[in-house]
Structure 1
């Protein structure tokens, strides 16, 4: 038993050495593996460069179609430019729709202004004509009443003729038929009458006739009355407008 113990002791002493050698061998192997792994990145990097070159060489044939792809966009841009040029040419050659609308509006406005101006001018002329005609009616009535209310025994025939000159229609016929009798009465009574127009105004009128109100003051002397007699009358005189101008066709005394 004592001899076996030294043998086992020797075995156990030798075991650590064996273990140590094994550990050393494993460490050397790991070191070698590390060296190999450290060398591998170089190989990997080289392989990556080669793969990149191959990928570029394989992509080069496909790049030519890619270069051709922008061509439709360029063609579209050229087409748009051509259309823009054509539109610009059209704009330069013919007015735009807005210009036509503005021109039409300006034309309509001009026509409206001209029409309004013409209408206003016509209305103004019509008013002026009506006022002028009204003044002629009034003047004819005043003249007729002056001739009728002014008469003298010394000038009776001439005075009656002046009445006939400014009358027409029924009034003229009345004076014409009684002219001599009227002149004889004026001479016999030694009538001397002087008339004066106080006021005259147009009551109504149209293009053919008018009615004028006339206020008259008359101073009369005759052999049958002492001194002068002053009288005032108001007459409604009808004036006609005809070929002979403005003449009195009738007169009516009003209160």
Structure 2
């Protein structure tokens, strides 16, 4: 009887441990997915720019930016918008693939492969451009932002 009681308690304890482990793994997977989705959206925003919506496109990029990445754009929004409108170049981004490279505390590095389909007014430089980028995503209290973006050769 005592052995059966100990066995039942051991099974209950093991079930509780497995339940907590499953919940922790689920939370970890959700956070990793949020890092990857933030990086995907950042690269999509960077590779999708239209002359008629350039100001809004840049504002969308800045809304998801922080740290070094945001500092690169500070004070340069208006000149960038002017160049896009003057050149009348349209880029339509597409994410090919993305994956978590490394996670460290409240930051993660995500590798993103993307294609930008470029359209120029005279069609002389139109066509697809492929990019690989490493996006550092920072979790600031549940708000995910891109804090660094770099091109990967």
The CA deviation at 1:131 is 1.3
Q: Rg: which structure is higher? A: 1
* Residue of structure 2 in register with 1:191 after alignment: 89
Matched, 1:122 2:16: no
Q: RMSD of the alignment, in Å?
A: 1.7
Matched, 1:168 2:66: yes
The CA deviation at 1:203 is 1.1
SS at match of 2:74: helix
User: TM-score of the superposition, structure 1-length normalised?
Assistant: 0.57
The CA deviation at 1:243 is 2.9
Contact 1:154 1:187 in 2 (8 A): yes
Contact 1:153 1:192 in 2 (8 A): yes
Match for residue 147 of structure 1 among 45, 58, 65: 45
**Unaligned residue ranges in structure 1 (runs of 5+):** 1-101
Quick check: which one's strand share is greater? 2
SS at match of 1:177: coil
* Residue of structure 1 in register with 2:34 after alignment: 136
Alignment: residue pair count: 153
Match for residue 216 of structure 1 among 114, 121, 128: 114
Contact 1:189 1:224 in 2 (8 A): no
**Unaligned residue ranges in structure 2 (runs of 5+):** none
- Distance in 1 of aligned mates of 2:134 and 2:56: 25
Quick check: which one's helix share is greater? 1
- Distance in 1 of aligned mates of 2:70 and 2:35: 17
User: TM-score of the superposition, structure 2-length normalised?
Assistant: 0.92
